A and B are shown apart, each in its own frame.
Chain A
Amino acid sequence: MEQDKKFYTLLVFSENFAGVLNQVTAVFTRRQVNIESLNVSASSIKGVHKYTITCWSTEEQISTITKQIEKKIDVLQANYFTDDEIFIQEVGLYKLTTEIAINNPMISKEIRKHGGQIVEMNPTYTIVTKRGMTEDIMSLYHALNDYGCVLQYVRSGRIAVTKSCIEYLDRYLAERKEAYDNMKKQQAKESSACDL
């Protein structure tokens, strides 16, 4: 079982109602699947929130979890992906002791080598950011940590967009709109038939 597990990214879209996040995470808890990372933010569509969730799971299990999430009334759509189907990005933030960072030129070399950026520097601390995949961000952390200059370090949850040329959420919303329009047309027809 363990060896069948793969790393999956779920993209979930919901209406902006209170409590949806609880309902989404509860599905994982019930199926005893650990969430590795979770990012929630507004999507490109007004009033629609996007959840990016990663976890280790089997295909059967993630398929069931996805369907059980999508079943929640206020969830618009849920889909799961493997890493080759999506563009992925994470961000790392590193807070360093300026004194050590200045006195050891190897530190700024490591930052440049890893593609990190210094975004703030004052006499006490220096802030570095790096975006990329988990391993790259971790790798810069380990490099900096070896110099004993890291005061704080944090890595964001993953965010992702699909590689597919089809925008499934747009398609879903268009279908729902069409279903609604058809229903209303049908109702209008029925009520005018009643009037006769």
Chain B
Amino acid sequence: MEKQRITGAEALMRSLENEGVTTLFGYPGGAIMPVFDALYDHKDTLNHVLVRHEQGAAHAAQGYARVSGKVGVCLVTSGPGATNTITGIADAMMDSTPIVVICGQVGANMLGSDAFQECDLVGVTQPISKWAYQIRRPEDIAWAVSRAFYIARSGRPGPVVLDFAKNAQVGMVDYEPENVDFVRSYVPVPKTDPESVVEAARMINEAKRPLVLVGQGVELGEAQEELLQFLELADMPAGCTLLGLSALPSDHRLNMGMLGMHGSLASNRKTQECDLLIAVGMRFDDRITGNLSTYAKQARKIHFEIDPSEVNKNVPVDLAVLGNCKDTLAAVTALMKKQQHTEWIDSFEVHHEEERRIVIEPEIHPQDGPIKMGEVVRKVTEMTGNEAILVTDVGQNQMLSARYFKFTKKRSIVTSGGMGTMGFGIPAAIGATFGAPDRLVCLFMGDGGIQMTIQEFGTIMEQGAPVKMILLNNNYLGNVRQWQEMFFHRRYSFTPMLNPDYNMIASAYNIPNETVVAREELEAAIDRMIHTEGPYLLQVAVIEEGEVMPMCSPGNDVDDMLLQIKKD
């Protein structure tokens, strides 16, 4: 191909197009202006979504990436523009989300001089990104951009930061596209030891009470089908992590519910009874394991994992099967016997029954009193045929929607798991509508989180982003309030909130909206929300002192779950 002499900013545009980018979330500013100027001529191919705050751009890129499997792109200016994306970068790192954040930077000759809007972004983001690189010469653009996308999407995905010095944006370069598909020092998918495959199959064939822990790795590896075959052949019950919830259909008979702190009674209790624990693409987060010193001590353990540094990090395992679980699950399944664990699977039912009676029924089918959060979630999931994408903010709204939303399709949950970022919801949901334009996107949030990124209503308005927003308003920072109730003698230190009129705010942004207070109005309101084209804000006044139950208190044994708070 013939080389063309173009500006660095134009080279960035072509490099993005070369990577198949179609959507960017961003916000212009001084040090990125040459790039935005070049973008003006690429509006037909690169759809730039103008957010209202750079944090929103990063979360929107995450939401886009999570539902589409493609790399989310975020384009912001230097200094404050760049530092505003940091929460999103750290969030993407924790939750293995492929995004590329491109930030402007002052010219290379001014670096280190405390120039206007200069910030050592590479220094700041190195510990929270998969790779961070400063482009100081236009000659490096094609290579750096291609390398960034390769690193972000391959292996265990993650965020990559490109700090783009202004002189490199305006300088001229003989552009030639590059396609990095190899980095000598980086092994995205470790080699699978064939013996580990044989040994895993042997351990599974011998197991009497196997339990599978399904993580987001299954979604990231596109291994949903392989997982089903693996589970069904050996008739193995499974629990899902928060991020792995839609890797396995919610109503599959082997799906025993969510794992961890607010997970299902059965999956947590059975963790302490199984004889073989099989973790697939998950990292034994403390919210999953509770007390590590008692966690599944009776069980042998197998860890299917793409990232060698996760093996034995929190929980020592007997066997690691390294590699992409799409390949390793299939390889192990091929050596497995058909089995039936009827008695073991049946033994989960008594716990399900207990949870249904004490926790679930009162939460989703209350007879009287204020509306409960769980009942709203269940109504929404049922009325959308369990086919919608669930986006959540963080807190009680997140845990209850994770518990009561049902999934039939893959890549259907977008939530901030590892970081627990309040304010994630609105921008991530916007991103999700661009990543999966043919799907319904339902966002649950609380009255705390909505206000952290409420300015993105502006983005929703401008783009007409069809986000169905359900605000579960309890006038509290509910999750912290619950902990204060349980662990701090009900001393509600700065958790009650005086709220504004959210309907007026939504109306100001031209977003159709309504508020529901009475139970009998709920269904009709949800129906209106679903059938209104474009965005919608449905505010539901829910019980003020609602709780997420069951709960394994932090540091407790995983089977030591509280079903109710004792009220005095």
| A interface list, Cβ under 8 A from B | 14-15, 18-19, 22-23, 26, 30, 60, 63-64, 67-68, 70-71, 73-76, 173, 176, 179-180, 183
Q: Which of B64-72, B181-189, B204-212 contacts A (4 or more CB under 8 A)?
A: B181-189
Q: A63-B312, A67-B308 are in contact. Are A180 and B182 (CB under 8 A)?
A: yes
CA separation between A137 and B151, bound complex, in Å? Answer: 45
Closest to B134 in A: A18
Instruction: Please tell me if the beta carbons of B122 and A64 are within 8 angstroms of each other in the complex.
Output: no
Instruction: Please tell me if the beta carbons of A183 and B181 are within 8 angstroms of each other in the complex.
Output: yes
Instruction: Please tell me if the beta carbons of A71 and B151 are within 8 angstroms of each other in the complex.
Output: no
Interface contact tally, CB-CB below 8 A: 51
Q: A22-B126, A23-B126, A73-B130 are in contact. Are A15 and B312 (CB under 8 A)?
A: no
Instruction: Please tell me if the beta carbons of A176 and B309 are within 8 angstroms of each other in the complex.
Output: no
Is B420 located at the chain interface by the 8 A CB criterion?
A: no
Q: A19-B122, A23-B126, A26-B126 are in contact. Are A73 and B312 (CB under 8 A)?
A: no
| B interface list, Cβ under 8 A from A | 122-123, 126-127, 130-132, 134, 151, 181-187, 307-309, 311-313, 316
Instruction: Please tell me if the beta carbons of B184 and A22 are within 8 angstroms of each other in the complex.
Output: no
Instruction: Please tell me if the beta carbons of A70 and B126 are within 8 angstroms of each other in the complex.
Output: no
In the bound complex, residues from chain B placing their C-beta under 8 Å from that of A14 are 185
Chain B at the A interface: mostly helix, strand, loop or mixed?
loop
Instruction: Please tell me if the beta carbons of B126 and A73 are within 8 angstroms of each other in the complex.
Output: no
Q: Pick the contact of A19: B126, B185, B187 (CB < 8 A).
A: B126
Instruction: Please tell me if the beta carbons of A76 and B185 are within 8 angstroms of each other in the complex.
Output: yes
Q: A63-B312, A64-B312, A67-B309 are in contact. Are A73 and B183 (CB under 8 A)?
A: yes
Question: Can you list 28 pairs linking A and B with CB atoms under 8 Å apart?
Answer: A14-B185, A15-B184, A18-B122, A22-B123, A22-B126, A23-B127, A26-B126, A26-B127, A30-B127, A60-B312, A64-B309, A67-B308, A67-B309, A67-B311, A68-B309, A70-B308, A71-B307, A71-B309, A73-B131, A73-B151, A73-B183, A74-B131, A75-B185, A76-B184, A176-B184, A176-B187, A180-B184, A183-B181
Most buried by A among B185, B307, B311: B185
CA separation between A71 and B131, bound complex, in Å? Answer: 11
CA separation between A183 and B183, bound complex, in Å? Answer: 12
In the complex, how many angstroms separate the beta carbon of A44 from the nearest chain B beta carbon? Answer: 17
In the complex, how many angstroms separate the beta carbon of A67 from the nearest chain B beta carbon? Answer: 4
CA separation between A173 and B126, bound complex, in Å? Answer: 25
In the complex, how many angstroms separate the beta carbon of A24 from the nearest chain B beta carbon? Answer: 11
In the bound complex, residues from chain A placing their C-beta under 8 Å from that of B132 are 19
Most buried by A among B123, B181, B184, B187: B184
CA separation between A176 and B183, bound complex, in Å? Answer: 9
Sample of 20 more A-B contacts, CB < 8 Å, known A64-B312, A75-B185, A176-B187? A18-B134, A19-B126, A19-B132, A22-B123, A22-B126, A23-B126, A30-B127, A60-B312, A67-B309, A68-B309, A71-B308, A71-B309, A73-B151, A73-B185, A74-B185, A74-B186, A173-B184, A176-B184, A180-B182, A180-B184
